[in-house]
Every structure is written in C-alpha cells, then in structure tokens.
Amino acid sequence: MNSILNRFRTYFQDGTLKDRLIRRAKNAPKQWIEPVFNKHLIRERFRFIFQIVTLKADLFLKWRMFEPGSYHEEQGSIQSFKNRTIIDGNGNITPWFTYNLIDFIQQHDIKNLSIFEWGSGNSTRWWADRAKSVISIEHSEEWYQKTIQSLSSCKNVTLRHIPLELNDAYSTALSKDDPCDIIIVDGRKRVECARHAFETMPREAILILDDSQRNQYDKIFTLAQERGYKCLRFNGPKALTTHTKQAAIFYHKENALGI
C-alpha cells in the first residue's frame, strides 16, 4: 500500500504533470495561443482540460479506495495484497469469493451442515472452521500436497486428489453417499461438475458457483433453470481484483440455508 501511495505522491510532486502540460503547450499550434474565436479550437481546449481533470480525479479515487478505514481495507484487500494470500481485515484466511457472498454466508448458522467443494485452498479451511464436515476435490498434485499440510489440524476435512486425466472421475466425484448441504463449484470443468451436482445432490442442498460472470458458465444457469432452481447473484469486488466479479447461489424453496 505504501508503494502505491508513494507512486501517487511522486506523480504529483516531481513535476511529471507540470512537464506534460509544458510540453503540450510548446507543441501546440500557434492558433491555440492566439485569442482566435474558433469553435473547433475551443472544443479541443476543453477536451484537453477535461482529460487533465479526469486523470487527477481517477488517481484521487483510486487512492481513496485503499486509504485507511476504507471498505477495501476493512474487507482485507490491502492485507491480501501485502501478504499475497486471501485474508480478511483481521488477518484471518477467507475464501476468494465476492465480499458480499462471504457476508451473506456468515449471516447463517452452518455448524451442522456438510460441505462439498471442487477446488481446495483457503476456502477449505474457512468452511472447516464453520461447518460440520468438508469434502474437497483437488486436481493438482502440487496444490493438494500444499493444502493437506495446511489442513493437518482439521479433523473434519477429507481432501481427495483426482487428476483431470482420469476421464470423468473429477467432475463426477460427488456421490449420493457423500454428505452435502452446500456444494461449491470453484475448480476445473465447472459446467460438467455443476451438471453432475444437479443430478446427484439432495433437493434441499444449495450450489455455489464462483466467477459466474464468465460467459462459459452460462450453460450452468440454463441447467439450473431446467431443474427448477432459483438463483441469487452476488456482484461486487473480491480480494486482489479491481473489477466487479460475481458468484451465484442456486437453490430450491426448501433449502439448507432457509433462503
């Protein structure tokens, strides 16, 4: 964060903006300096002034986004950037979901619910601290070994390594014998995983799709609609991003969260 602020201060204090204005004036046509009433020249002058004002306003707003006490600091964006990992404002690990989805889940009591997720990591530990049990599917051997070490103290987690090369074993990892009240699709082959989940999971279970704004996941919305699922979309920022992201929850009227 300090490096960002220093960059902004340098931009305004070292004469960079002033130098750009001087160069622009020196290279400007002679007519710009002469008091000639010309609609085209006046329009160009206002356009140049607007560009300068817009540039300063944009830099100011970006600085305000990450200043102490801002929403992004409270949610952990600055801390996540500094530590190169996804954490909240208090330094606790958190899923890489949109902040409003995390807030929504935290409003519900899930201590007696079972979690099944495609894609392991910080979210696995986060769910384990709150839910009854967690089953997590991971395709990467390297990430599986790293995650299983970090989860050594979690007795309610089952981490399964299923390579993508094993035909459909990854996307069909969820069985009807697996306890699952909440299913998270946040790994590879998301369309295939979601299709299998809709066919396998209990009616009262809910499915969370991360990064649902991506066009390649439109098929999942169609599959859910065909099976009578309702949908809640959570649009907003998430850690280490500057653009709006989206997550979606698919559910029936009678569901584990009582939505």
At the topology level, CATH places domain 93-251 in Rossmann fold (3.40.50)
Residue 228 structure tokens: 């009578």
Domain residues of the chain, as ranges?
2-65, 93-251
Average pLDDT over residues 12-26: 55
Tell me what pLDDT residue 206 has. 98
Under the banding of pLDDT at 50, 70 and 90, the label for residue 92 is: confident
pLDDT of residue 86: 74
Report the pLDDT averaged over residues 140-168. 93
| Rounded-to-integer distance, Cα 122 and Cα 126, Å | 6
Cα–Cα distance list, 10 to 51, 58, 225 (Å): 20, 16, 53
Residues with Cβ within 8 Å of residue 32, at least 6 apart in sequence:
25, 41, 44, 45
Q: How many residues does the chain have?
A: 259
* CA atoms within 13 Å, Cβ hemisphere of 109: 1
User: How far is residue 170's CA from residue 188's CA, in Å, rounded to a whole number?
Assistant: 9
pLDDT in tens, 155-175: 999 999 999 988 899 999 999
pTM of the model: 0.72
Q: How far apart are CA 168 and CA 128, in angstroms?
A: 27
